[in-house]
């Protein structure tokens, strides 16, 4: 009947076409069951059968390898029962957006290399997100010796053109942090990846970046990536985010309560994420002009109607909601002032909201991070997004919403054709140490990012 066809459709939307595992625990993690009701209704990129199969078998693998006493599985390479269990432990030291993009990348790396992903238990991720993998936890046990694992003696260094590793040990440590420059480390090379896989059941990674574009450099990874994401463009991050990040009830309730109270009645929703980063000095020196540029962008793109003192068009009944997320209140103040001081030319009403007023970054303060996540979610519920360059906070929002944003640069504002984050890194080398010609061919799979010229984006 029509009724069951409709409910089938809504249940496939609810678990994102089987991307998510079947779950019973409705109360514990409401966002998992309610997320599809907010934001975009249609799912532009349906997950491949292959991705779904790999996720289901990953979940089994994760549960099996993390069962029982952590001391046992920590030493798993010697325990015959868990012989095939290898691990990658993610450590971080950055803001929420950086955490999300780098966990997504690390999880994809874990899928490609058949490792179990574990998350640093010291961070407040537990308060922010639900467990993504059924019947198990993604948090490393508290007795895992983090400091020991991240010590310099385990650091991988593939010395220039010689594919050797630092020490003969069972652990290796890698850092892929802001400004990552891979020259001399060759992490994204086939032979080196083979060595890592053969030698190190434990890999510890400190990262705050979305290094997925460079995973495409490794030929065997690329083959697998093409199967996982046959429509590679614009789809990798969205799938990973939808799969991994389900806000905890506290963060979810904050966001949905705000939405229901202030945003639900709008005919159109626009999200604006304003962040001026130190790498973009020109912008920060001219914050005022960035605010003007934001207004220009919203008007020229026709996301918002213009205003005019002379306007006498009658109320159209149309209400446009604008969510402004920023640590700097001037963007919200300026925009709201425009719409309370003059009528719009088309008679619509523009409601401008600022869900939080945090002023400065307080990463790992529970309450602050919960507001940050709620801001990301509220942005992701909007049909249109304007983001600022280089911000992983904005990347996370566009990934959660599956929305291709308008990117506001100093000079212009244009709609992007992808929701993929940028890998803020300089990866210019060839794996066989035949520098220039190889470096070029390696870059064929990636392009430079629209927001960060020195970065790489999956093309
Ligand atoms: P990035 O530095 O822009 O790449 O993003 P991150 O999320 O990694 O770090 C910025 C941090 O600053 C966020 O995690 C928040 O803690 C805070 N922050 C930045 N912009 C906003 C915002 O619009 N709203 C809120 N609530 N916090 C923000």
From ligand 1's centre to the CA of 364, what distance in Å? Answer: 11
Ligand 1 center–CA 1 separation, angstroms: 47
- Residue pLDDT tens, the chain, 459 long: 444 555 556 667 778 889 999 887 777 899 998 988 898 777 778 899 999 999 999 999 999 999 877 776 666 554 445 578 999 999 988 899 999 999 999 999 999 999 999 999 777 898 999 999 999 999 998 888 877 787 777 777 665 555 555 555 678 888 898 877 765 567 888 888 998 898 888 899 999 999 999 898 888 999 999 999 987 565 899 999 999 999 999 999 999 999 999 999 999 999 999 998 876 656 555 555 788 889 999 999 999 999 988 877 788 889 999 999 999 999 999 999 999 999 999 999 999 999 988 888 887 788 999 999 999 999 999 999 999 999 999 999 999 999 999 999 767 799 999 999 999 987 665 676 655 555 554 555 667 899 988 888 886
Which pairs with CB-CB distance under 8 Å and at least 24 residues apart come from 225-230? Answer: 225/112, 227/48, 227/50, 228/48, 228/50, 228/51, 228/54, 228/111, 229/48, 229/51, 230/48
Task: For a ligand 1 pocket test, name from 92, 93, 94, 95 the mutation site with the most ligand atoms within 8 angstroms of its C-beta.
Answer: 95
Q: Which residues line ligand 1 (CB under 6 A)?
A: 94-98, 275, 325-327, 356, 358, 361, 363, 368, 371-372, 375, 391-393
| Dihedrals phi, psi of 131, to nearest 5 degrees | -65, 130
Quote the pLDDT of residue 4: 52
What contacts 44, CB < 8 A, 6 or more positions away? 402
Q: Report pLDDT for 454.
A: 83
Specify the ligand 1 atom closest to the Cα of 98.
Answer: 8
Does the ipTM surpass 0.95? yes
CA of 443 to the centre of ligand 1 (A): 30
- Cα 16 to averaged position of ligand 1 atoms, centre (Å): 27
pLDDT computed for residue 49 by the predictor: 94
Looking at ligand 1, which atom is closest to the CA of residue 326? 23
pLDDT of residue 80: 45
126 Cα: distance to centroid of ligand 1 (angstroms): 18
**Which residue intervals of the chain bear CATH 3.40.50.11350?**
249-415
pLDDT of 182 reads 62
Q: Does the domain spanning 249-415 belong to CATH 3.40.50.11350? A: yes
Which mutation among 93, 124, 127, 275 tests ligand 1's pocket best, with the greatest number of atoms within 8 A of CB? 275
Cα–Cα distance, 281 to 211 (Å, whole number)? 24
* pLDDT reported for residue 435: 55
Question: Cα(133)–Cα(21) distance, rounded to whole angstroms?
Answer: 8
Please report the pLDDT score of residue 376 as a whole number.
Answer: 98
Closest atom, ligand 1, to C-alpha of 356: 26
pLDDT value of position 350: 97
114 Ramachandran zone, left/alpha/beta (phi>0; psi -120 to 50): left
């Amino acid at each position: 009947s029509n009724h069951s066809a409709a409910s089938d459709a809504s249940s496939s939307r609810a678990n994102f076409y089987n991307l998510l595992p079947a779950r019973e625990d409705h109360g514990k993690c409401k966002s998992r069951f309610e997320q599809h009701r907010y934001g975009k209704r249609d799912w532009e990129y349906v997950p491949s059968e292959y991705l779904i199969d790999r996720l289901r078998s990953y979940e089994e693998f994760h549960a099996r390898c993390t069962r029982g006493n952590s001391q046992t599985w920590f030493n798993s390479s010697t325990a015959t029962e868990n012989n095939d269990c290898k691990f990658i432990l993610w450590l971080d030291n950055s803001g929420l957006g950086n955490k999300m993009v780098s966990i997504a990348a690390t999880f994809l790396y874990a899928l490609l290399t058949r490792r179990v992903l574990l998350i640093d238990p010291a961070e407040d991720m537990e308060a922010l997100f639900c467990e993504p993998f059924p019947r198990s936890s993604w948090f490393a046990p508290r007795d895992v010796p983090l400091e020991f694992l991240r010590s310099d003696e385990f650091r991988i260094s593939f010395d220039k053109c010689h594919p050797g590793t630092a020490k003969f040990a069972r652990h290796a440590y890698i850092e892929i942090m802001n400004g990552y420059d891979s020259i001399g480390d060759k992490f994204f090379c086939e032979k080196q990846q083979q060595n890592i896989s053969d030698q190190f059941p434990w890999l510890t990674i400190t990262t705050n970046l979305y290094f997925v574009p460079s995973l495409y450099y490794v030929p065997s990874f690329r083959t697998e990536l093409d199967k996982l994401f046959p429509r590679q463009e614009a789809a990798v991050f969205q799938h990973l985010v939808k799969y991994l990040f389900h806000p905890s009830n506290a963060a979810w309730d904050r966001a949905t309560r705000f939405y229901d109270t202030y945003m639900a009645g709008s005919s159109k929703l626009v999200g604006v994420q304003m962040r001026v980063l130190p790498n973009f000095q020109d912008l920060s020196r001219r914050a005022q002009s960035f605010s003007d540029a934001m207004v220009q962008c919203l008007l020229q793109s026709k996301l918002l109607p213009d205003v005019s003192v002379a306007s006498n068009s009658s109320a159209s009944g149309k209400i446009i909601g604008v969510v402004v997320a920023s640590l700097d209140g001037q963007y919200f103040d300026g925009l709201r002032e425009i719409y309370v001081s003059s009528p719009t030319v088309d008679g619509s009403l523009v409601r401008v909201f600022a869900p939080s007023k945090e002023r400065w970054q307080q990463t790992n303060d529970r309450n602050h991070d919960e507001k940050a996540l709620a801001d990301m979610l509220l942005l992701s519920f909007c049909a249109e997004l304007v983001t600022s360059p280089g911000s992983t906070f904005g990347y996370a929002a566009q990934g959660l919403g599956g929305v291709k944003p308008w990117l506001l640069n100093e000079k212009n504002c244009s709609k992007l054709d992808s929701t993929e984050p940028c890998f803020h890194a300089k990866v210019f080398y060839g794996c066989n140490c035949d520098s220039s010609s190889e470096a070029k061919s390696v870059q064929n799979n990636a392009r430079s990012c629209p927001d960060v010229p020195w970065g790489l984006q999956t093309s």
